[in-house]
């Protein structure tokens, strides 16, 4: 369903940036259009290739580029490195990009690049992450505080308001890691004060989560809950640790540790079906690609939007340095894991 353009958003101009370096990240081409659609060229940087969630997002990009007839340049991959993202962005601009889609993993360090792109009048769509500073045309993102809230409520109810929980926090340099962590902690503190949380910063790295789990289980063998802020990087190492300790047992077993995750990848769904984990929040990889490309093409063509309800069951809010389209992210449990509408049940089919 297409979204209707609305009233203009004012864009301030700043100083000029000299550009022209080659891309440092992985790229299938040094330039040019990768999709051959109509209209101005749109550049896109994929944030990493070590996450099942982001690999799923990458698979949706060509599908929706074709659907919206986007003149998409060959994607680059910044490999979770802000320096590579900056270099890739510079290369896209030098090759003629008129709008850029990115997903900065460090939401503070990208501000100067956004300022420079604003100077060049090149609009930016940020996917999943909201830059702390710097102008963006649109952020395509789900409500990440709701992720932490839903995880807290699920675990709190499963544990009966008592016990110990370990939380694998994402990078706290990312607004996503901060939002999920703050909402989870606030909910636990106010609603389930009888639950102890072991907060483990991981920088979105699976090995760090696995090491923390090993240590905490050795110190506190009575841990009964795990909150993984990113199943795409935490699921496999978490299951490996639990399996090694004979804790990968059905929910009916008293030794079962209740696990709630974020992402909604097929691997999480399979783990829910097997009873290995209990829930995940389905982060919409398909809609991230769909609406990011839609807004990027619209921005390159001079269209504008305003805050308010959309015609695709979301709400656009004003975030001060741009707009954010907040997409729905449902909780998935054994009761609805087979819902064919969930993207995790559609990818690869």
Going from the N-terminus, what domains does the chain have, and what CATH number goes with each?
26-143+284-328 (3.40.50.2300), 144-282 (3.40.50.2300)
Phi/psi of residue 17, each to 5°?
-105, 135
Residues 328/314, Cβ–Cβ less than 8 Å: yes
CB 155 within 8 A of CB 229: no
Cα–Cα nearest to 232, from 269, 257, 258, 201: 269
Which region holds residue 219: left if phi is over 0, alpha if psi is between -120 and 50, else beta?
Answer: alpha
Q: What is the model's pLDDT at position 349? A: 53
- Assess contact for 289 and 57: CB atoms under 8 A: yes
DSSP annotation of 344 = G
Check the CA dihedral 317-318-319-321 and report its sign. Answer: positive
Task: Give the residue ranges of the chain where pLDDT is below 70.
Answer: 1-36, 348-349
| pLDDT tens for each residue of 274-305 | 999 999 999 999 999 999 999 999 999 999 99
Segment 55-74, tens digit of pLDDT: 999 999 999 999 999 999 99
DSSP 36-102: --EEEEEEEEE--SS-HHHHHHHHHHHHHHHHTTEEEBPPEE-TT-HHHHHHHHHHHHHTT-SEEEE
Say if strands 124-127 and 138-142 run parallel, antiparallel, or are unpaired: parallel
| Token pair listed for 17 | 């940036």
Coil/strand/helix, residue 256: coil
Question: How long a stretch of residues is the chain?
Answer: 349
Q: What is the largest CA-CA distance in the chain?
A: 63
**Using CB atoms within 10 A of its CB, is residue 30 exposed (0-12), middle (13-18) or buried (19+)?**
exposed
Residue whose entry in the numeric block shows the structure tokens 């590579």: 84
Cα–Cα dist 271/269, whole Å: 5
Residue found under tokens 């909910």: 187
* C-beta of residue 325 within 8 angstroms of C-beta of residue 316: yes
């Amino acid at each position: 369903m297409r979204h209707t353009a609305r009233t203009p958003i004012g864009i301030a101009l700043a100083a000029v940036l000299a550009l022209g370096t080659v891309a440092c990240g992985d790229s299938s081409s040094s330039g040019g259009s990768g999709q051959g659609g109509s209209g101005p060229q749109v550049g896109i940087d994929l944030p990493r290739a070590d996450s099942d969630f982001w690999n799923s997002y990458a698979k949706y990009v060509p599908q929706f580029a074709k659907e919206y007839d986007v003149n998409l340049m060959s994607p680059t991959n910044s490999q979770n490195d802000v320096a590579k993202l900056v270099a890739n962005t510079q290369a896209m601009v030098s090759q003629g990009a008129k709008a850029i889609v990115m997903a900065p993993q460090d939401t503070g360090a990208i501000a100067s690049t956004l300022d420079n792109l604003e100077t060049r009048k090149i609009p930016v769509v940020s996917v999943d992450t909201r830059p702390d500073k710097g102008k963006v045309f649109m952020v395509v993102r789900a409500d990440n505080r709701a992720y932490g809230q839903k995880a807290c409520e699920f675990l709190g109810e499963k544990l009966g308001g008592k016990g110990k929980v370990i939380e694998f926090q994402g990078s706290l340099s990312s607004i996503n890691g901060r939002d999920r962590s703050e909402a989870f902690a606030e909910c636990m503190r106010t609603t389930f004060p009888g639950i102890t949380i072991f907060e483990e910063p991981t920088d979105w790295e699976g090995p760090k989560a696995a090491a923390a789990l090993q240590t905490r289980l050795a110190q506190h063998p009575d841990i009964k809950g795990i909150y993984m802020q990113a199943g795409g990087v935490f699921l496999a190492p978490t299951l490996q640790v639990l399996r090694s300790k004979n804790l990968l047992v059905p929910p009916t077993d008293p030794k079962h540790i209740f696990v709630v995750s974020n992402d909604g990848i097929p691997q999480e769904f399979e783990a829910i079906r097997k009873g290995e984990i209990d829930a995940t929040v389905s982060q919409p990889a398909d809609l991230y690609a769909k609406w990011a490309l839609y807004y990027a093409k619209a921005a390159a063509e001079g269209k504008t939007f305003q805050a308010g309800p959309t015609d695709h069951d979301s709400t656009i809010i004003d975030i001060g340095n741009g707009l954010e389209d907040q997409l729905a992210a449902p909780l998935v449990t054994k009761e609805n894991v087979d819902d064919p509408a969930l993207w995790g049940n559609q990818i690869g089919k």
